[in-house]
Amino acid sequence: MSLHEQKTVAIVGGSGYAGGEFLRLALGHPHLQVTQVTSERSAGTPVSLVHPNLRGRTNLKFRKAAELDEADILVLALPHGHAAKRLAEFEGKARVIVDLSADFRLKDPAVYQATYGEPHPTPERLDEWVYGNPELRREALRGATRIACAGCFATSVILALYPLLKLGVLLPRDIIATGLVGSSAAGASATDGSHHPERAGSLRVYKPVGHRHTAEAQQELPGHFPLHLTAISTPRVRGILTTAHAWIPDGYSDRDVWSAYREVYGQEPFIRIVKVARGIHRYPDPMLLDGTNYCDLGFEMDMDTGRVVLMSAIDNLVKGTAGHAIQSLNVALGWPETTGLEFAGLHPA
């Protein structure tokens, strides 16, 4: 790799929040050169009209997907189901494809069907895709040409639980995880529920049971245990705070959780353990993570009952989507893993 290597990138479906965030990060990435962004709805208009933070940063205009030229990397930011159905169309355009949707995350076609309610269009291709979570699948991502970006809520759950399950610090009992989610997670289209007067002050349980990311988390996490997810909308725009309630074996303590996290994540550039004895910022808080690729993890234990409360905070559009995808690409293409993901986050914010 040369210091000045650049790969061309085309973003398909670039008018949504995931595509827009990938574009923002890619514009600041020294090895990526975004040459095309598509949007059926906004074709012909400058991307900065839709993503006004990019005023003065790019002169790109949206084009239609039908006008797509070849590129080194194709990033698919389409609604659920589109990437899988139009895979042949896209495979001719680039050697490396990153899909931000849920289409290629699940490896078992039966689980896909149970989760999404219809058969997978190309079940025979599922094995070609690597799940885009470098913390768990760094080796598989090296040199990968098909990356299935991880889901945002799933990522917050997986990163909190993985070391503890892997190292046996949790009992195989029910784990209950609640995600407090910002409004950007529902996408860029206005709906009755996203209307500001109905949403600004709301704490809205939108998925008490049956969240689709359950399957994704269970696929990636070691061991067999019932996982229960609940998702609640908050007045924030970005961010997920997940609290997961799990159970430690007799005789285990704080120290075992600490050392499991240290052992597994000690070298991870984007994971921080936040558990501070004083001050006001004692645990992970998505407030501090807007725009960053961090996943902050924390925990607290109830020694009387064996319950451990795990906490996990991310920016759903960065570590939960586009940043995790960039990080995966960095691994796949052999660039330093933090390239383009250096933003520290704001305080106050």
Q: Per the annotation, where are the binding residues for NADP(+)? A: 15-18, 316
Residues numbered 276 to 335 that lie near its own copies (CB under 8 A) are: 276, 278-288, 290-291, 294, 296, 298-302, 305, 307, 309, 311, 313
Distances (CA, A) of 161 to 130, 240, 262: 20, 15, 13
Closest CB 304 distance from its own copies, rounded Å: 8
Find the binder of its own copies among 205, 222, 249, 262 (CB under 8 A): 205
Minimum CB separation from its own copies for residue 182, in Å?
A: 8
Q: With binding defined as CB under 8 A, does residue 53 bind its own copies? A: yes
CB 278 → its own copies: shortest distance, Å?
A: 8
Q: Which is nearer to its own copies, 182 or 320 (CB)?
A: 182
Locus of tokens 């960053």: 292
For its own copies, the binding residues in 150-169 under the rule CB under 8 A are none
Of 345, 344, 346, 341, give the one whose Cα is nearest residue 28.
341
Chain positions 16 to 35 lying near its own copies, rule: CB under 8 A, are 17, 20, 24, 27-28
The single residue among 118, 124, 192, 250 that binds its own copies, judged by CB under 8 A, is 192
Exactly one of 6, 191, 253, 338 binds its own copies (CB under 8 A); which one?
191
Indicate left, alpha or beta for 299 from its phi (over 0: left) and psi (-120 to 50: alpha).
beta
Tell the residue number behind the tokens 């001719």, with chain if given: 92
User: Is residue 86 involved in binding its own copies (CB under 8 A)?
Assistant: no
Q: How far is the CB of 204 from its own copies (least distance, A)?
A: 6
> Per the residue annotation, which of 23, 68, 152, 215 is the catalytic one?
152
- 230 Cβ neighbours under 8 A, 6+ residues apart: 176, 177, 178, 179, 205, 207, 208, 209, 211
152 flagged as catalytic: yes
Helix (H) or strand (E) holding 243: strand 240-247
First-residue to last-residue Cα distance in the chain: 38
DSSP 13: S
DSSP structural state of residue 151: P
Catalytic residues: 152
